[in-house]
């Protein structure tokens, strides 16, 4: 071969390898942004559980009395007469009646897959929820599943409101039947826009085929999580006149969902995992009905609160496997544990199991083996973070419990029309948009820290300082040097114009995304039950009012949770301000009103800060502002979602050989 040809081939080969390496680095960077943001957000919610746990630890007598009060007053709404009113708008003329049969399933699929005219009458929504809760209530905590008749079973992971993925699974794999049973492993709602339809369809499948559909509870089958991640807002928007009643029915469904399943007494199927203290015998004996929310103290009907039992449920809902040995707290999520291969081996031997199937984590290919193939993760929501971000999958297990994976991606035609560069651009824009929204939570703190590094007020700091500030403030553990060009566009290789980072956070596309989301404070205030529970625990003498002494005990715990955030004296002064009528005590109405006023003030302050910045900041060079505007425009276009009727045949699916996985 000619020497020049060899040199050219080597040159092309080196270029291609560098190109592939850059693409892989970009993919991993985007994936890390998505996952770290997801875990950081869940960590915020888990802090609520930790706060409750510490309150109960230091105020056990008050917690017991309040739980007794909650338990005695909690009345199931399942047998009450419906108090529903007519909804306005496009309610579909479709009738659902008991018993639910296959023709009703076909009707629901036909209605739900349409982008418009897809709302059932609220009385039929209530009918499905009520009947499902009544039936689920009769099931054991761990459902026994068998392949004796069917010779096979299908297991699906997280769906997260992705109705298109559920319809793809049913289209490719068939409706449930005695010969085609399913296990759906939790996280049916939140994040996706069609969570209510997913939940109603799954419950209808269960009612129509009760011996062939098994539903496990996930960590998102929880009203506290729903307040933060979108499902409550979804129900409110679809049924604005009946949402409170329907959400109460949904809570009843959650509290009676089984906690897991066991296949042929050999394979455990739970949403998250387990810890080195998990006992299936204990889990089987728990009264799961008292856990309306896993993040709030359970209803105990006067019995002492068993925190060991509470922790058992938390561990199977929230835990993740790790490659290293041991069992340690899951600091990324802020709840559950990381369990290693030694913990898995001991757990399987103790309970005479072959392996475990779990979900809870998005995987690029929809599934993953860990711990010598003894822990299988299955995730069924494709395009979870953005179009083309990941594939979904489900498992089919035969009578010998050999797993076979079917990997798929929904809305395949949308992906096919895009080049690889366009797909990567969409994923990258979605990642940057989520990151920028998260950064807005720390917008003022970022600006303060940037200015400390810029005593001459030049608007520029070193790359090292910029990276240090970004990590110090956000604590997200991201590769900030790689992200510098994206978050501070148009800057040179030596300095970073931090104004451009701040300007990006103030663009319309990021502000609109922030408005569409839900902060921790929004979620806490929206979920009044959490505030009521906190009030009840602080009210140690069960008087219906909180004294300053009772506040002081709780403040000691807050100081432990938020060291340095506020002084004890400052927090006591805030508690005195809650006493709106000046009688020296705070009742429940004053407590809730204080949160409402505080939240209102917070939002007004945010608006005022935006106005102040727009007039008080030095003007940027035109090239800098143009670079920010171009990036914002790119993010806006790439993350624009256009809804279509769902076509379950519009998918790409293939069977994966487990030996090659």
Query: Using 50, 70 and 90 to split pLDDT, how confident is the model at 524?
Result: low
How much is the pLDDT for 200? 97
Please determine whether the domains at 120-410 and 520-606 fall in the same fold group of CATH.
no
Q: How is the chain split into domains, by residue range?
A: 120-410, 520-606
- At residue 457, φ and ψ (nearest 5 deg) are 55, 45
Full-model pTM? 0.84
pLDDT exceeds 50 at position 73: no
Contact assessment for residue 262 and residue 145, using Cβ atoms and an 8 Å cutoff? yes
Confidence of residue 315 (pLDDT cuts 50, 70, 90): very high
Tokens of 365: 């290919």
Q: What is the CA radius of gyration of the chain?
A: 26
Quick one: tokens of 461? 């700091």
CA distances for 224 relative to 177, 199, 219, 517, angstroms? 34, 17, 10, 15
What is the bridge-based pairing of β-strands 182-184 and 152-156? parallel
State the fold for domain 120-410.
Purple Acid Phosphatase; chain A, domain 2 (3.60.21)
Highest mean pLDDT among 12-16, 416-420, 622-626, 631-635: 631-635
* Best CA proximity match to 436, nearest among 362, 520, 522, 502: 502
In whole angstroms, how far apart are CA 576 and each of 2, 98, 581?
87, 55, 11
Structure tokens at 296: 């709030």
What are the tens digits of pLDDT across the range 613-627? 555 555 444 444 678
- Residue 183 has what DSSP assignment? E
Of 121, 160, 220, 243, the active-site residue reads: 220
Q: What is the CATH superfamily name and number for domain 520-606?
A: EF-hand (1.10.238.10)
**Distance (Å, rounded) from C-alpha 363 to C-alpha 365?**
6
Which tokens is 134 given?
A: 């009544």
The lowest-confidence range among 214-223, 340-349, 505-514, 537-546 is: 537-546
Q: Looking at residue 414, what is its pLDDT? A: 80
Confidence of residue 534 (pLDDT cuts 50, 70, 90): confident
Residue range 54-67, pLDDT digits in tens: 665 555 544 444 44
The whole-number average pLDDT for the span 110-127 is 90
Q: Specify whether 220 is catalytic.
A: yes
Other beta carbons less than 10 A from residue 326's beta carbon: 13
Q: What integer pLDDT is reported at residue 621 of this predicted model?
A: 45
- Say how far apart CA 264 and CA 401 lie, in whole Å: 9
Alpha-carbon span 102 to 363, nearest angstrom:
33
Round to whole Å and give the CA distance between 117 and 114: 7
Q: Does 560 score more than 80 pLDDT?
A: no
Q: Which residues pair with 465 in a beta bridge?
A: none
Q: Going by C-beta distance under 8 Å and a sequence separation of 6 or more, which residues neighbour residue 287?
A: none
Q: What is the pLDDT of residue 116?
A: 75
At 590-612, the pLDDT tens digits run 776 666 666 555 556 656 655 65
Check if the beta carbon of residue 142 is closer than 8 Å to that of residue 259: yes
Question: Cα separation of 298 and 303, whole Å?
Answer: 11
Return the pLDDT at 65: 46
Instruction: Give pLDDT tens digits for 446-490.
Output: 999 999 999 988 889 999 999 999 999 998 889 998 898 889 887
275-308 exposure pattern, b = at least 16 Cβ within 10 A, e = fewer: bbebbbeebeebebebbbbbbbbbbbeeeebebe
């Amino acid at each position: 071969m000619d020497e020049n040809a060899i040199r050219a081939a080597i040159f092309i080969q080196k270029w291609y390898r560098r190109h592939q390496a850059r693409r892989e680095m970009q993919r991993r960077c985007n994936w890390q942004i998505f996952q770290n943001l997801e875990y950081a957000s869940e960590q915020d919610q888990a802090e609520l559980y930790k706060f409750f746990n510490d309150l109960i630890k230091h105020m056990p007598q008050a917690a017991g009395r309040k739980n007794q009060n909650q338990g005695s007053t909690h009345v199931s709404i399942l047998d009450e007469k419906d108090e529903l009113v007519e909804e306005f708008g496009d309610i579909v003329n479709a009738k659902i009646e008991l018993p639910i049969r296959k023709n009703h399933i076909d009707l629901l699929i036909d209605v739900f897959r349409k982008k418009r005219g897809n709302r059932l009458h609220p009385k039929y929504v209530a009918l499905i929820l009520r009947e499902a809760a009544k039936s689920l209530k009769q099931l054991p905590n761990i459902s026994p599943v068998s392949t004796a008749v069917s010779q096979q079973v299908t297991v699906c992971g997280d769906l997260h409101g992705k109705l298109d993925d559920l319809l793809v699974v049913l289209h490719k794999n068939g409706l449930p039947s005695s010969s085609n049973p399913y296990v759906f492993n939790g996280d049916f709602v939140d994040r996706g826009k069609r969570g209510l339809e997913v939940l109603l369809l799954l419950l209808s499948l269960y009612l129509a085929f009760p011996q062939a559909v098994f539903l496990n509870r996930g960590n998102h089958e929880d009203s506290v999580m729903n307040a933060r991640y979108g499902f409550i807002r979804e129900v409110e928007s679809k049924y604005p006149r009946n949402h409170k009643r329907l959400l109460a029915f949904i809570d009843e469904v959650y509290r009676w969902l089984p906690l897991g399943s066991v296949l042929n007494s050999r394979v455990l199927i739970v949403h998250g995992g387990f810890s080195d203290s998990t006992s299936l015998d204990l889990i089987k004996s728990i009264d799961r009905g008292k856990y309306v929310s896993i993040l709030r103290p359970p209803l105990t009907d006067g019995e002492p609160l068993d925190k060991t039992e509470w922790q058992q449920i938390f561990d199977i809902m929230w835990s993740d496997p790790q490659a290293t040995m041991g069992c340690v707290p899951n600091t990324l999520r802020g709840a559950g544990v990381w369990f290693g291969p030694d913990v898995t081996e001991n757990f399987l031997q103790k309970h005479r199991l072959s392996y475990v199937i779990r979900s809870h984590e998005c995987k690029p290919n929809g599934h993953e083996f860990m711990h010598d193939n003894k822990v299988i993760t299955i995730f069924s929501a494709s395009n979870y973070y953005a179009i083309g971000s990941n594939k979904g999958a489900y498992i089919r297990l035969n009578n010998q419990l050999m797993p076979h994976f079917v990997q798929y991606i929904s809305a395949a035609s949308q992906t096919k029309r895009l080049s690889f560069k366009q797909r990567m651009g969409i994923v990258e824009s979605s990642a940057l948009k989520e990151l920028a929204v998260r950064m807005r939570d720390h917008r003022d703190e970022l600006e303060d820290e940037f200015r400390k590094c810029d005593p001459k007020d030049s608007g520029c700091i070193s790359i090292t300082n910029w990276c240090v500030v970004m990590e110090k403030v956000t604590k997200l553990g991201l590769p900030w040097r790689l992200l510098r060009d994206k978050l501070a566009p148009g800057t040179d290789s030596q300095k970073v114009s931090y104004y451009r980072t701040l300007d990006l956070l103030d663009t319309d596309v990021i502000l609109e995304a922030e408005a569409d989301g839900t902060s921790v404070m929004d979620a806490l205030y929206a979920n009044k039950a959490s505030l009521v529970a906190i009030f009840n625990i602080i009210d140690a003498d069960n008087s219906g009012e909180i004294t300053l002494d009772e506040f002081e005990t709780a403040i000691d715990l807050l100081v432990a949770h938020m060291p340095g955030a506020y002084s004890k004296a400052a927090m006591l002064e805030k508690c005195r301000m809650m006493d709106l009528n000046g009688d020296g005590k705070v009742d429940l109405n004053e407590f809730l009103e204080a949160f409402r006023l505080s939240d209102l003030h917070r939002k007004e302050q945010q608006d005022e800060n935006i106005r102040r910045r727009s007039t008080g900041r030095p003007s940027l060079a035109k090239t800098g502002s143009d670079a920010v505007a171009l990036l914002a425009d790119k993010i806006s276009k790439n993350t624009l979602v256009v809804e279509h009727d769902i076509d379950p045949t519009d998918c790409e699916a293939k069977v994966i050989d487990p030996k090659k996985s």
